[in-house]
Structure formats: structure tokens, C-alpha cells
Amino acid sequence: MDKFVINGGKPLVGSVCVPRSKNSILPILASCVLCRETVTLHDCPHFSDIDNMLELLSILGAKIEKGHKNIHIDCKNITNCTLPDDLSKQIRSSIFLLGPLVARFGCARVSYPGGCEIGARPIDLHLKGLKALGTKIDEKYGKIDCYAHKLVGADIHLDYPSVGATENIMMAGVLATGTTRIFNSAKEPEIVDLQNFINSMGGKIMGAGTDTIVIEGVGNLHSTEYTPIPDRIIAGTYLLAGAMCGGDILIKNVDYAHIYSLLTKFKDAGFDLNIKDDNIRLRAGREKKSFGKIDTMPYPGFPTDLQAQTLALQCVSNGVCVVTENLFETRFKHVPELIKMGANIITKDRTAIVTGVKDLYGADVSATDLRAGSALVMAGIYAHGQTTISNVHNIDRGYESIEKVFNALGADIKRV
């Protein structure tokens, strides 16, 4: 298992380009199952979550061709609707395949994805939506068997605006007969991207980005070429790293509207930000003001996927910040690791109270999950001395060679 060894204390200077969004690409790949013709996705990054999803698709019988940045997916000859136990347990996004498989083939079998480091992550809303469209679901011994003679559009009200459930129901509704309406749907930019992608194949989805999505079922989809949106979480990570470590960074290929909640916090704390077209320049010294309060919420609220990185910045900002994690019940695994590095943080239930300190010090820490890992990389670049981060595979799930990106900006990170 790879580790990172970081020699800290370096500012970040230079420019960096944001790759395409992992959380857009994963459901987009799943929705390729709906189409009998070849789909080409442009400019895709190399994240292990994406590779794993491609492996799942090829196990189902899809033909995958990967170029340097483009992926061609041909799902014409899918022969298998059962996802292997080990992979589907390991890869949470396997659940995205339920909707498309049932919609096209009338059956699907996956293992229950189970909990993970950030919380229990139930899938009841996914299943409730598929049932409403006419799927019979049999849950036994950790396996989910889905059958449907024919999916028929329905009105579905989500108790919570779950991103994954909204996407699964959208994908199932595309090949259902009649109209499906999702009320209290998630409004994340990745949902809009999925709508745009499916519509580029001839789907008829409207309303993504609002709390009501309407899907008119169509008989067939056709081939398409598509470029997914930039990754707003990576854009946010780079900005937060620049703010934490000090320096002058230019971040390219950002849709600033997607990270407005974060940019507002930067502005309120008096950071020097310059936004022009799809570029953001941030200049920061070592002295900075705390954000005061962070509450994670569904989009357009503050993203839970930036909570760990923001908390890392608060560790070295003047003042106190109260961070409340409202989405995932155990998403503070980075806190004990940051405390090892000298941070002053007290947690109670879903709240962390962070009192800024001037210095952090290198320590041996573990990347317990993807975003916790990127927060520790930021802390390691800031800290005095040497930091070793284990379980780097968790970071590779959603960042492509993060060490190379930060080294190009002046950090000193070795993968060993």
C-alpha cells in the first residue's frame, strides 16, 4: 500500500487545472447501460473509482476502450445482470447500476453496498423509487434482487434529496413507459450533468437543478459524445489548500457557480480572490481569519465533500470555527489525525469546534477516506517537519496523482 511522505512548510505558487467531475462520471457511466450504441466521454481523469466502475461495466459485458483521456463504452452486448459480490460491496457506485439494468433488462442483482467510513449510507430511497416504477425487490442475505416485467412512470416523493437516489430513479425512468416525476429531488450540478448527458442520447428529462424532475420515458437511446463538468470538489480542495499553505495560485477550469457557498466563506473571511471566466486566482499569506461557522447541507448548501478540507484550513486560522456535519454521521475521522499534528479540535456528535493554532507539526497519520485524505495532504504541506500519510489508495479514488499536482505548485510529497 502506498504512503505519502511530505516535507512541509512550503507555500503553493503556480497554476493548476481542475479535472472533470468524478461524481458526474460515475452515474454517467452507469447510464451508458441504457444505450445500445457506443458512447464517448471526453477528457476523463484517471481516478480509481472510475476504473472500478469501468471494470464493473466490462464484467456485465460492456466493451470499454480507454484512450489517454477519452473512454468509449459500448453496452450493446451486455449479457450479465449480476454484479460480483466482492466488487459491488467494495464499490459504492455499483448501486447506480440497479436503475439502468432493471430499466433495460428487467433484472439486476447486486450486493448491499453496506456502510463505510463516513456513515451507514442506507439505500432505502433508491429502492423505494425503483419499487414505485414497478420493480419487485427481494432483499436477502445482503443481496438485492430486482425484477420488473415493465417499468411504468410514477410520481415519487423523496423524504430526503439524496443525490444517488435521484440519479438512480432518473436513469430507470428514462426507459419506463410514461412520465416519472421526482419531487424533493437533489439539485447538485452532477444531477444536471446527468440530465444533459442522457438528453444528448435522446432522453427527455427536464427540471434537473430544481426540486422537481420530470422524465418522459423513451423507447431507445442513441450514441453520443459528451464532456462532463469540472469537479467542483477538486476545485474547492485546491482553493482551500492555497488558502491554508499561503502563496499565489491560479485555478483553471472552475465553474464558480458550483462552489458559491465556499467562495462566499472566502470573501467573508477577507481572502484575496479574483474570479475571471473559468479561472480563480487566490493569494494568501500565513495569517488568515476563521470562517466562523460551517454547516454542511445538500446543494446549494456547503458541500459535505469539502468539510474535511475546510476544517483543516480552520485549524490554522485565527479564531474559532464551529463545523457541523449534517449529512454523514461519522464524517470526522480526519479530526484525530489533525489533532496528532497539533490541531485544537473538540468534537461532540456531529459538531467540531476548531480553535485556530499557529503551527502544525508533521506526524504519522492515516487517510481514512477520500476527502479526509486530501485534508491531511493539505495539513502535511502546511506543517513543520515530515508527515507520513498511509492508506493513500483512498485519496487515489478521487484525485489523479495528487502528489504531482501539489509538487508542481511547490510542495514536497513523495509516494513510497
- Establish if 305 lies at the interface with ligand UD1 (CB under 6 A): yes
- Establish if 125 lies at the interface with ligand UD1 (CB under 6 A): yes
The span from the CA of 267 to the CA of 243, in Å, is 12
User: What residues from 82 to 101 belong to the interface with ligand UD1 (CB under 6 A)?
Assistant: 93
User: What residues from 162 to 181 belong to the interface with ligand UD1 (CB under 6 A)?
Assistant: 162-165
* Residue selected from 304, 366, 391, 394 as contacting ligand UD1 according to rule CB under 6 A: 304
- Establish if 26 lies at the interface with ligand UD1 (CB under 6 A): yes
Q: Decide whether 25 or 243 has the Cβ nearer to ligand UD1.
A: 25
Contacts 24+ apart (CB under 8 A), 405-410: 405/16, 405/238, 406/12, 406/241, 406/377, 406/381, 408/14, 408/16, 409/12, 409/13, 409/14, 409/16, 409/247, 409/249, 410/10, 410/11, 410/12, 410/13, 410/14, 410/247
* Residue selected from 46, 63, 121, 283 as contacting ligand UD1 according to rule CB under 6 A: 121
CA angle 41, 42, 48 (to 5 degrees): 75
Q: Decide whether 176 or 306 has the Cβ nearer to ligand UD1.
A: 306
Binding mask 37-76 for ligand UD1 (x = CB under 6 A): ----------------------------------------
Q: Decide whether 284 or 306 has the Cβ nearer to ligand UD1.
A: 306
User: What residues from 328 to 347 belong to the interface with ligand UD1 (CB under 6 A)?
Assistant: 328
**Which amino acid makes up residue 42?**
H
Do the Cβ atoms of 399 and 54 come closer than 8 Å? no
CB of 188: closest distance to ligand UD1 in angstroms?
A: 6
Near ligand UD1 by CB under 6 A, which window of 1-9, 57-65, 103-111, 124-132? Answer: 124-132
- Establish if 160 lies at the interface with ligand UD1 (CB under 6 A): yes
Task: Indicate if 116 belongs to the active site.
Answer: yes
Q: Decide whether 186 or 313 has the Cβ nearer to ligand UD1.
A: 186
Backbone angles phi, psi at 393, to 5 degrees: -60, -30
Q: Which of 286, 273, 280, 278 is nearest to 247 (CA)?
A: 286
The span from the CA of 340 to the CA of 364, in Å, is 8
The span from the CA of 319 to the CA of 51, in Å, is 42
Q: Which of 44, 81, 116, 146 is catalytic?
A: 116
Q: Decide whether 165 or 174 has the Cβ nearer to ligand UD1.
A: 165
- Establish if 327 lies at the interface with ligand UD1 (CB under 6 A): yes
**Would you give the end-to-end CA distance of the chain in angstroms?**
9
CA 273 to each of CA 15, 16, 63, 247, 335: distance values in angstroms, whole numbers, following the listed order: 14, 15, 45, 12, 28
Length of the chain: 416
Q: Decide whether 12 or 205 has the Cβ nearer to ligand UD1.
A: 205
Q: Decide whether 288 or 371 has the Cβ nearer to ligand UD1.
A: 371
* Residue selected from 10, 109, 126, 258 as contacting ligand UD1 according to rule CB under 6 A: 126
* Residue selected from 23, 180, 261, 394 as contacting ligand UD1 according to rule CB under 6 A: 23
Query: To 10 degrees, the CA torsion angle through 71, 75, 80, 86?
Result: 20
Q: Which residues contact 160 (CB under 8 A, 6 or more apart)?
A: 125, 184
Near ligand UD1 by CB under 6 A, which window of 51-59, 132-140, 149-157, 159-167? Answer: 159-167
Do the Cβ atoms of 177 and 150 come closer than 8 Å? yes
The span from the CA of 286 to the CA of 168, in Å, is 44
The residues annotated as belonging to the active site are 116
Report the interface residues with ligand UD1, using CB under 6 A.
23, 26, 93, 119, 121-126, 160, 162-165, 186, 190, 304-305, 327-328
